[in-house]
């Protein structure tokens, strides 16, 4: 049975990819001077990527809370865990706001072009900057601090000294 604290690192890859796709599509559409809220193929792909990305980010955050509790139970320092959690929360809020704006504009047939599209693209880029920052801190939790990672000793190395046996 999979350790529940290992579900979070599985899920986080989905919003990373989906938010990246959404941001790149918004940038392509803006460069093409297109209406981001139109119902063309690229716009709908962008909207679905953004919406599903938000849902997957919420799921990743929920399992992240469980992973955080497991890490605290094992004695890991709370500060870097909470820093990662806060950065991820800001990332989710930014993308959720963008999703609501985009879906409302599509529903109400409000054009998102010109300056409005630029503001949306800049918001997407800000969301990606937060995502990269949260991901970096999450990576540090694993690779620097060893949070929720089992220690593996390669064959041929002494466990006590870390040298050759």
Tell me what the mean pLDDT of segment 25-49 comes to: 98
pLDDT number for residue 161: 55
Query: For residues 23 and 121, what is the distance between their CA atoms, to the nearest angstrom?
Result: 7
pLDDT number for residue 151: 76
pLDDT number for residue 46: 99
CB 56, CB 95: distance < 8 Å: no
Non-local CB neighbours of 31 within 8 Å, separated by 6+ positions: none
Please give the model's pTM, rounded to 2 decimal places: 0.89
Q: Residue 29: is its pLDDT beyond 80?
A: yes
Using alpha carbons, list the distances in angstroms from residue 127 to 29, 39, 41, 69: 17, 23, 23, 26
Non-local CB neighbours of 27 within 8 Å, separated by 6+ positions: 121, 124, 125
């Amino acid at each position: 049975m999979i350790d529940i604290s290992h579900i979070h690192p599985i899920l986080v890859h989905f919003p990373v990819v989906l938010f990246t796709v959404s941001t790149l599509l918004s940038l392509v559409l803006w460069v093409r001077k297109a209406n981001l809220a139109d119902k063309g193929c690229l716009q709908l792909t962008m909207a679905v990527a953004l919406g599903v990305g938000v849902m997957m980010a919420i799921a990743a955050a929920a399992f992240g809370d469980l992973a955080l509790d497991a890490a605290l139970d094992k004695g890991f320092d709370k500060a870097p865990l909470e820093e990662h959690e806060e950065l991820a929360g800001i990332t989710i809020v930014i993308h959720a706001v963008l999703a609501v704006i985009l879906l409302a504009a599509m529903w109400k047939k409000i054009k998102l072009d010109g300056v409005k599209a630029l503001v949306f693209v800049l918001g997407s880029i800000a969301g990606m900057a937060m995502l990269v920052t949260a991901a970096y801190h999450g990576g540090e939790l694993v690779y620097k601090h060893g949070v929720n990672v089992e220690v593996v000793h390669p064959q041929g190395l002494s466990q006590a000294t870390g040298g050759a046996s």
